[in-house]
Structure 1
Amino acid sequence: MLDSLKHQLIVSCQAPVDSPLHDPLIIAAFAKAAILRGAVGVRIDTPTHVKAVRQQLPEVPIIGLWKQQIPGYSVYITPRFEDAIAIGEAGADIIAIDATSRPRPNLEKVTDLIYKIHQDLGKLVMADVDDLESARMAVKAGVDIVGTTLYGYTEKTQTCEPPGWDLLQEMVKEFEVPVICEGGIATPEMAKKALELGAYSVVVGGAITGVDLKLQAFQAVFSPGGLVGN
């Protein structure tokens, strides 16, 4: 399955929880459209959405995750083993987890979470990281894929703007496991650059499926103080 993802496009099909597009059937339609137009895999949030996509695309690789906002913790991408269980049972082939060095709920270590996903669920693990240190920890713990997903989205990297080109190059140079470029890929040219820098695959989300964010950006032009207001 990992071989099928090499040098290919993976589309993240997600929508804000307050959007009509958050409906599982619509997310599944996004995913099916992505595959019909040439993507080889999809990245899906929540067990309900993973299940809906799996029903529509029984053979397509799914990277599943569950974003959970837990009071007192900034870790939110599949933060606990119980979240990973739900994603695995819904039909994901690969489970993405926050593999940063930030404190975790239930005092659960990243290394233990990776081990249990492998041993108890029999699933592959994608480590979403923000820097080289967290990537090293995840790779040492045995992850199957490491991604630049959280570069620019954590306390340590909040002054950085994705894509993490430097981080991507460092990880490609140091690790043998597949390194996926994810985060901030806004154009086909940027996706091409990621591949040229050695990315195993490229995940594109908002630039393809981020309808709500695109609408908000356009609407800002028409709001007081926007271009029309001037």
Structure 2
Amino acid sequence: MTLFEDLRGGLVVSCQPLPDEPDDPMRNPYLQARVAAAAAMGGAVAIRGNGLADITAIRAAVAVPVIGLVKHGTAGVFITPTPAHAVQVATAGAHIVAVDATDRPRPDGRMFADTVRAVHAHTAALVLADVSTLREGIAAVDAGADAVATTLSGYTSDSPAIDGPDLGLVARLAELLSVPVIAEGRYRTAEQIKQAFDAGAQAVVMGNAITSPLWITRRLTSATPRGAGLPPRCGQPGQR
């Protein structure tokens, strides 16, 4: 039995500050570890964390498996983009290393399979392939990935740009692959989580909708007059 069997039927919580917000107050390993501990207490079967310091802090704070990654760059393949990054993530404490497995060019010119081999040869960690299409998922399994996640659907030119999760991709991967399929990407409601399991997901990852006060607040304030760009409505003097 692999770690992915331990995740079957459960919710994985992604604890990461917003990548495009360098001033996000949650950008702190101690805070991310506390958020992870609360998520684990609430029933999360694993935690997904980004950055070596965060991974180490989260690993020390929770008893559930840690899915780790490191983001290097801002475009193209930047989720654990090289074998060296992947080994560093495992060494920092990740039980499972999440790696971009799309067919886009990698910054070091190597292949996804090289990263899989490095992780399996030099660490005890497993490899989770983040993909955007069915073709990439099949190729990732052929390259030795231990599981596949739909993380990057909607973020590449080959995948659909939709507001919600790509449930169709979850279903196609689950039908055709011999490894566990993890549903990830824009899951925001309990109903979407249920739909992912109905489609065949082994586990579902939810992130900002649980762990980012900044993201949650922005999404909710967008429904307010002030957030929508309208002038604030004032009451009587002294009530503003």
Q: TM-score range by the shorter chain?
A: over 0.9
| Whole-angstrom distance in 2 between the partners of 1:151 and 1:86 | 26
- Look up the equivalent residue of 2:191 and give its one-letter code: E
What is the correspondence of 1:11-22 to structure 2 with a 5 Å cutoff?
A: 11-16=13-18, 17-22=22-27
Aligned pair partner of 1:39 in 26, 33, 44: 44
Which residue of 2 is the match for residue 187 of structure 1? 189
SS at match of 1:76: coil
Which residue of 1 is the match for residue 124 of structure 2? 122
| Whole-angstrom distance in 1 between the partners of 2:139 and 2:231 | 47
Contact 1:181 1:203 in 2 (8 A): yes
- Look up the equivalent residue of 1:42 and give its one-letter code: I
Structure 1 residues 97, 226: CA separation in 2 closer, same or farther (over 3 Å shift)? farther
Give the C-alpha shift of residue 7 in structure 1.
0.6
| Whole-angstrom distance in 1 between the partners of 2:201 and 2:29 | 30
Give the C-alpha shift of residue 223 in structure 1.
4.2
Ranges in structure 1 where 5+ consecutive residues have no aligned partner: none
| Whole-angstrom distance in 1 between the partners of 2:61 and 2:202 | 26
Structure 1 residues 52, 186: CA separation in 2 closer, same or farther (over 3 Å shift)? same
| Whole-angstrom distance in 2 between the partners of 1:53 and 1:184 | 23
Contact 2:81 2:107 in 1 (8 A): yes
Which residue of 2 is the match for residue 25 of structure 1? 30
Contact 2:83 2:114 in 1 (8 A): no
Give the C-alpha shift of residue 43 in structure 1.
0.3
Structure 1 residues 123, 227: CA separation in 2 closer, same or farther (over 3 Å shift)? farther
Which residue of 2 is the match for residue 197 of structure 1? 199
Contact 1:151 1:162 in 2 (8 A): no
Give the C-alpha shift of residue 203 in structure 1.
0.5
Identity value in percent: 37
Q: Please state if 1:154 is matched with 2:159.
A: no
Give the C-alpha shift of residue 76 in structure 1.
1.1
Contact 2:95 2:124 in 1 (8 A): no
| Whole-angstrom distance in 1 between the partners of 2:185 and 2:104 | 19
Give the C-alpha shift of residue 40 in structure 1.
1.1
Ranges in structure 2 where 5+ consecutive residues have no aligned partner: 234-240
- Look up the equivalent residue of 1:53 and give its one-letter code: I
- Look up the equivalent residue of 1:25 and give its one-letter code: Y
Aligned pair partner of 2:96 in 69, 94, 97: 94
The Cα offsets for residues 40-79 of structure 1, whole Å up to 9 and x where unpaired, read as 110000000000011112x320000001116xx5111100
Q: Please state if 1:132 is matched with 2:130.
A: no
| Whole-angstrom distance in 1 between the partners of 2:219 and 2:73 | 25
SS at match of 1:101: coil
- Look up the equivalent residue of 1:157 and give its one-letter code: S
Which residue of 2 is the match for residue 68 of structure 1? 72
| Whole-angstrom distance in 2 between the partners of 1:119 and 1:226 | 58
Give the C-alpha shift of residue 121 in structure 1.
2.0
Contact 1:151 1:161 in 2 (8 A): no
| Whole-angstrom distance in 2 between the partners of 1:63 and 1:227 | 44
Structure 1 residues 160, 189: CA separation in 2 closer, same or farther (over 3 Å shift)? closer
Which residue of 2 is the match for residue 103 of structure 1? 105
- Which structure shows the higher helix fraction? 1
TM-score normalised over the length of structure 2: 0.89
| Whole-angstrom distance in 1 between the partners of 2:6 and 2:69 | 20
Q: Which has the larger radius of gyration?
A: 2
| Whole-angstrom distance in 2 between the partners of 1:168 and 1:158 | 13
| Whole-angstrom distance in 2 between the partners of 1:82 and 1:18 | 28
